[in-house]
Amino acid sequence: MPDERVAAAVASLYAAHRLLDPSAERVEIPFEGAPLVGNLRRPPGASRPPLVLLIPGLDSTKEEFFHWEAVFLSRGMATFSLDGPGQGESGYTTCIRHDYEVAVTAALDTLAGRGGFDPSRVGAAGVSLGGYYAPRAAAYHPMRLPPDIEVGLDAAATFRLVDPVFPFGVYAAVVEIDRTTGQVHVLRLVAVDDAGTIVNPLLAEQVIYDAEGQLLTVTFADYPMLRAHQVVDVTTEFLETPSPFNPLGIRHVEMPLVPEKMWHLVRGA
C-alpha cells in the first residue's frame, strides 16, 4: 500500500484540482485484480473533444503532468494521465511490464463507458519510457488502427543508393585584426548550406562529427562553450534542393574549413 508521503502527494494534487480545475476526475481502472489510476480532464465548453493519453516513464507519475495537460487542454483536447503498471500510485499493487498496450486497452475501455470525449479521436504521448509505451500502445491496438495497417511494430525494408549525393555550402566570415596586438576578433559568420531536404534543422545546426564519424558535440568538456566576449553574430540559412537519389531527398551537411579560411584571411591582412 502507498505510504503516507505518497498518499499526501496524491491528496495535494486533488486539492489543487478542486481549486484550479474542478472538472478533473480521478478514474480507477479494473486491471487484473488491482486497479490502475488516472486523472481525466476536459477542456471547458467542449462536448466531445479528442482525448490525449499521457503516459509516464519508469520513475515519473501522473502528478507531474498538470502543466503538460494544460498544453492540450488549451487546444481543445481532453487529457488522461495514467499511472500504468508499476508506475506511481499504481506501482504499489502492480509490476512494470513491456506490453503496456494491455493497460491502455483497459483504460480506454473504462473511459469509453464514461463518455465526455470522442472515442474515435484518441492519441497518446509519453515521456522517457512512456515514449516507447505510446507508439507500442497504438501499434498493438487493432481496433484503433487504420484498416490497411498491420498490428505490431515490425517492419523490413531495403534501400540501395544508386549514386552518391553531395551537399553544397558557402561560409563567409568577417574578422577584425588589431595590428598592434595581433588579436583577431570574429565579427560575423554566415553559413549557407544546401543539404537537400532538412528533416531536422537542429541536427544540422548542432551536431559535429570528426573524420572517423565520432560525435564531438557530446559535452561541453569536449566542445567548449564560448565565453561572452567570444560570441559572434552567426547567421545560418538552408537551401533545400531535394536529392533525386533517395526517398527523403536528403544529403549530408558538409562542414567547410572555416578556421583554415579565417587563418588565411588573417595572414593576408
A 10 A CB-CB count for 187 gives: 10
Per-residue pLDDT of the chain (269 residues; tens, 9 = 90+): 556 777 787 788 778 878 878 778 889 999 988 899 999 999 988 888 999 999 999 888 888 898 899 999 999 999 999 999 999 888 888 999 999 999 999 999 999 888 788 888 899 999 999 999 998 888 877 666 666 666 666 777 788 888 888 888 888 888 888 888 878 788 888 888 888 887 776 666 666 667 776 766 666 666 566 677 767 777 878 888 888 888 888 887 665 555 566 666 666 66
Catalytic residue among 12, 60, 74, 128: 128
Mark whether 128 is an active-site residue.
yes
